[in-house]
């Protein structure tokens, strides 16, 4: 796949392993010989190579054809793609001060490079010419889609605008790229700088697994014998759920919700104000009323109004359910003789107690049944039943000892993909969980199969002990694995359309849908086995666990939907001069009557979905939009009377998991389901239906 058509030998030429084709097993990068200092020269060389390719395509004296323009674009930039995908995988999963420094330098360079590509007039006029003649070019459906996508991209980038507007857009894009990098590094810095060190006597209420994880975190920090709570979601949330120490819960909760809002160098508020203003300006230059209008025009939802209509529908039901939940928690506090009003740092603690009382179920009783190893097996097994995939562990050199690899094959034993799982939290890793690819699937440059990564932040067990997950962690594992399947099963010709390259309100369908198979009784019966006794989860416990699925869903829905509504509000501003972010957030929450006992799942100063690169800016509603799809899609299996129904699974694979962006998402969904989705299955799944009937 080497596409350095103009081989310019840089000074470091032959010694830089990043500039050669990847020669590792399964096409992996040669991790053993890559050093951080290789990235700068590799980026420089790969950028120059791609620039030369683009110039050659734009200056081609022959009349534009699909082959000499669109296919040529698709074949270009391979070295850059390789270097960038590896670099950003490491910047997320195993970063360092040096990598962060390179990231700050490179992100504006990449933005400038993208500007040069999509604001290139000669190139755009070739694409526009082809687009105008598209019906006469004898293109197949996939080719027509690639052409359409390129044309839309150029237009949305501003290729058709006059020169001064283009220059301003280029400036805006570069500035946004730098700001996004700084935003994300600031959040990581605030997370790293906080560690709540505890003594044995401070651990009241914490179950064994939580003590073990806090002990391991202390050891990792060179404080053996102590206990440390960090701002990793799994560490904080576990503590909030179990700690009987109200003072400590408040302390860690305050640190958690103030990430990016602590004043000083790592404060993100001014960055956000600038980003919002720049995005609004970009949208105006491109002829849209607001950034949200611009963003959603190219999504499945099409308009902010459509997204908001769904959120409003869910919001009013969620508020009612959350109010009932709050009353039950307050009652519990009163029964215990507590003389205080439920605060945000109390919610998870009392919810856990109520869950235990109501369902005779507590997290520490469930947790031994969710071993990381077994949950990985479970995710693989479901993929075997649905799509005929097999997974074989392979020994290959990777970037960190905690990362592991499996070769994925299909029912005929053919190679499908390489899958890498990197599951444990560490200080060199950004928070959250995500899927990324070191290589995408395509057939244009030969039968290229993908290399896909899942990165999570589960607590690492103390040496020798089993890694135990919460039920939520297990769900996260299935979620990211659903994204991984979307990448691994991809079966398209053109890389532009591969795998997860779909609109962001559609991309969560394969991941959220996959979560449903964790909850299928036969999967739980087989893989939820006790870490110490090897016994499967007793039937009664399993039933009670599944019965709790709608427990506390008012809280979860409010916590999420508030974020989606504030995001849409913020990005619907037609202009944002000198925006006071704290005031904006407060007022936006007042407008929707946010309950004071609940804090947004991601407050604006650390809302990485919106500001670390902007992948979900004006797009956080996507999770709910996709949930409408996933709930409705899973109902297709229930209607078939078999959660692994082969015919339904076949359609799911053909129309969704392997289809990439070959067609419009609404059409793809209709091909799978025979109709567009309805919101009913979602409301039922979240236990919000009762509110419907009482309306």
Residues making contact with Zn ion (CB under 5 A): 508, 511
Are 242 and 213 a contacting pair, CB within 8 Å?
no
Record the tokens describing residue 100, joined without a space. Answer: 């962060």
Q: Which residues contact 229 (CB under 8 A, 6 or more apart)?
A: 195, 196, 198, 214, 217, 235, 236, 239, 248, 252
Nearest CB to Zn ion, comparing residues 282 and 475: 475
DSSP class of residue 536?
Answer: B
Nearest CB to Zn ion, comparing residues 299 and 597: 299
Smallest separation, CB 319 to Zn ion (Å): 25
DSSP class of residue 33?
Answer: G
Smallest separation, CB 483 to Zn ion (Å): 6
Kindly tell me the sign of the dihedral angle through the C-alpha atoms of 550, 454, 518, 482.
positive
Nearest CB to Zn ion, comparing residues 166 and 500: 500
Nearest CB to Zn ion, comparing residues 99 and 563: 563
Which among 399, 391, 481 is positioned nearest to 433, based on CA atoms? 481
Are 480 and 372 a contacting pair, CB within 8 Å?
no
Nearest CB to Zn ion, comparing residues 75 and 486: 486
Return d(Cα 235, Cα 211) in angstroms, integer. Answer: 10
Nearest CB to Zn ion, comparing residues 94 and 508: 508
CB-hemisphere CA count at 13 Å for 662? 19
DSSP class of residue 405?
Answer: E
Q: Residue by residue, what is the 3-state secondary structure of 237-291? A: HHHHHHCCCHHHHHHHHHHHHCCCCCCHHHCCHHHHHHHHHHHHHHHHHCCCCCH
Return d(Cα 575, Cα 447) in angstroms, integer. Answer: 47
Return d(Cα 229, Cα 191) in angstroms, integer. Answer: 11
Return d(Cα 486, Cα 483) in angstroms, integer. Answer: 5
Are 467 and 408 a contacting pair, CB within 8 Å?
no
Smallest separation, CB 431 to Zn ion (Å): 14
Cβ neighbours, 10 Å, residue 686: 21
Q: How far is CA 695 from the centre of its chain?
A: 35
Record the tokens describing residue 401, joined without a space. Answer: 């000892």
Q: Which residues contact 395 (CB under 8 A, 6 or more apart)?
A: none
Q: Which residue's Cβ lies closest to Zn ion?
A: 511
Q: Helix, strand, or coil here: 409?
A: strand
Known catalytic membership, residue 442: no
Nearest CB to Zn ion, comparing residues 17 and 613: 613
Q: Helix, strand, or coil here: 196?
A: strand
Record the tokens describing residue 212, joined without a space. Answer: 């073990």
Smallest separation, CB 511 to Zn ion (Å): 4
339-366 as b/e: b if 16+ CB within 10 A: eeebebbbbbbbbbbbbeeeeebbbbeb
Smallest separation, CB 482 to Zn ion (Å): 8
Strand partners, 468: 371
Residue with tokens 């699909």: 66
Smallest separation, CB 435 to Zn ion (Å): 7
Q: Residue by residue, what is the 3-state secondary structure of 413-472? A: CCEEEEEEEEEECCCCCCCCCEEEEEECCECCCCCECCEEEEEEEECCCCCCCCCECCHH
Nearest CB to Zn ion, comparing residues 510 and 677: 510
Nearest CB to Zn ion, comparing residues 440 and 508: 508
Query: For the chain, what is the largest distance between any 2 Cα atoms, rounded to a whole number of angstroms?
Result: 84
Return d(Cα 479, Cα 38) in angstroms, integer. Answer: 34
Nearest CB to Zn ion, comparing residues 326 and 479: 479
Smallest separation, CB 485 to Zn ion (Å): 12
Nearest CB to Zn ion, comparing residues 508 and 519: 508
Return d(Cα 476, Cα 493) in angstroms, integer. Answer: 30
Cβ neighbours, 10 Å, residue 307: 28
Smallest separation, CB 563 to Zn ion (Å): 14
Nearest CB to Zn ion, comparing residues 16 and 511: 511
Smallest separation, CB 419 to Zn ion (Å): 16
Q: Which residues contact 151 (CB under 8 A, 6 or more apart)?
A: 127, 128, 130, 131
Residue with tokens 């500001």: 611
Smallest separation, CB 693 to Zn ion (Å): 32
33-71 as b/e: b if 16+ CB within 10 A: ebeeebbbbbbebbbbbbbebbeebbebeeebebebbbb
Catalytic residue among 174, 480, 508, 519: 480
Smallest separation, CB 669 to Zn ion (Å): 17
Nearest CB to Zn ion, comparing residues 453 and 589: 453
Are 120 and 57 a contacting pair, CB within 8 Å?
no
Q: Which residues are catalytic?
A: 480
């Amino acid at each position: 796949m080497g596409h350095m058509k103009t081989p310019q030998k840089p000074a470091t030429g032959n010694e830089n392993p990043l500039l050669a084709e990847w020669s590792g097993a399964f096409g992996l990068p040669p991790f053993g010989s890559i050093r951080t200092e290789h990235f700068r020269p590799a980026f420089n060389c790969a950028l120059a190579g791609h620039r030369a390719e683009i110039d050659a395509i734009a200056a081609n004296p022959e009349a534009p054809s699909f082959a000499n323009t669109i296919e040529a674009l698709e074949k270009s930039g391979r070295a850059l793609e390789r270097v960038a995908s590896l670099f950003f995988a490491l910047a997320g999963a195993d970063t360092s001060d040096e990598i962060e420094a390179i990231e700050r330098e490179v992100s504006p360079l990449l933005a400038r490079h993208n500007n040069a590509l999509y604001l290139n007039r000669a190139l755009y006029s070739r694409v526009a010419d082809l687009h105008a003649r598209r019906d006469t070019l004898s293109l197949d459906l996939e080719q027509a889609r690639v052409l359409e996508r390129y044309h839309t991209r150029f237009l949305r980038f501003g290729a058709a605008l006059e020169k001064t507007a283009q220059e301003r857009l280029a400036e805006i894009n570069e500035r946004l790229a730098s700001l996004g990098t700084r935003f994300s590094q600031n959040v990581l810095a605030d997370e790293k700088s906080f560690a709540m060190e505890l003594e044995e006597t401070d651990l009241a209420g914490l179950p064994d697994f939580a003590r073990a994880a806090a002990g391991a975190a202390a050891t990792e920090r060179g404080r053996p014998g102590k206990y440390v709570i960090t701002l990793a979601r799994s560490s904080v949330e576990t503590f909030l759920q179990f700690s009987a120490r109200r003072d400590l819960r408040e302390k860690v909760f305050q640190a958690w919700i103030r990430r990016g809002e602590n004043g000083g160098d790592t404060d993100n508020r001014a960055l956000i104000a600038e980003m919002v203003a720049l995005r609004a300006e970009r949208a105006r230059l491109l002829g849209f009323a607001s950034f949200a209008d611009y963003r959603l025009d190219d999504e499945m939802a099409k308009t902010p109004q459509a997204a908001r209509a769904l959120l409003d529908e869910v919001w009013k039901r969620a508020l009612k359910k959350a109010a009932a939940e709050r009353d039950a928690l307050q009652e519990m506090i009163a029964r215990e003789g507590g003389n205080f009003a439920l605060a945000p740092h109390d919610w998870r603690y009392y919810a856990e107690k109520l869950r235990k009382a109501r369902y005779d179920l507590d997290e520490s009783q469930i947790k031994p049944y969710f071993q990381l190893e077994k949950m990985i097996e479970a995710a693989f097994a479901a993929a075997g039943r649905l799509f005929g995939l097999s997974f074989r562990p392979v020994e290959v050199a990777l970037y960190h000892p905690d990362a592991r690899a499996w070769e994925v094959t299909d029912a005929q034993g053919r190679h499908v993909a390489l899958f890498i799982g990197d599951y444990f939290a560490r200080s060199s890793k950004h928070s959250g969980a995500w899927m990324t690819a070191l290589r995408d699937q395509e057939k244009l440059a030969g039968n290229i199969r993908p290399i896909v990564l899942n990165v999570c932040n589960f607590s690492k067990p103390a040496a020798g002990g089993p890694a135990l997950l919460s039920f939520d962690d297990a769900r996260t594992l299935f979620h990211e694995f659903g994204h991984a399947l979307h990448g691994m099963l991809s079966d398209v010709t053109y890389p532009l359309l591969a795998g997860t390259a779909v609109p962001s309100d559609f991309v969560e369908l394969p991941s959220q849908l996959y979560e449903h198979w964790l909850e299928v009784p036969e999967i739980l019966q087989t893989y939820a086995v006790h870490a110490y006794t090897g016994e499967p989860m007793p039937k009664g416990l399993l039933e009670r666990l599944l019965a709790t699925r709608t427990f506390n869903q008012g809280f979860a829905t409010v916590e999420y939907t508030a974020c989606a509504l504030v995001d849409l509000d913020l990005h619907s501003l037609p202009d944002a001069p000198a925006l006071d972010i704290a005031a904006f957030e407060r007022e936006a929450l007042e407008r929707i009557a946010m309950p004071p006992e609940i804090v947004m799942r991601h407050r604006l100063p650390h809302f990485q979905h919106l500001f670390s690169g902007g992948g979900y800016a004006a797009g956080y509603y996507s999770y709910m939009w996709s949930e409408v799809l996933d709930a409705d899609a899973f109902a297709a299996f229930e209607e078939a009377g078999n959660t692994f129904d082969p015919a339904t699974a076949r359609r799911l694979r053909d129309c969704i998991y392997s289809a990439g962006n070959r067609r419009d998402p609404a059409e793809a969904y209709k091909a799978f389901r025979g109709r567009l989705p309805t919101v009913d299955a979602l409301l039922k799944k979240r236990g919000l239906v009762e509110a419907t009937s009482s309306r």
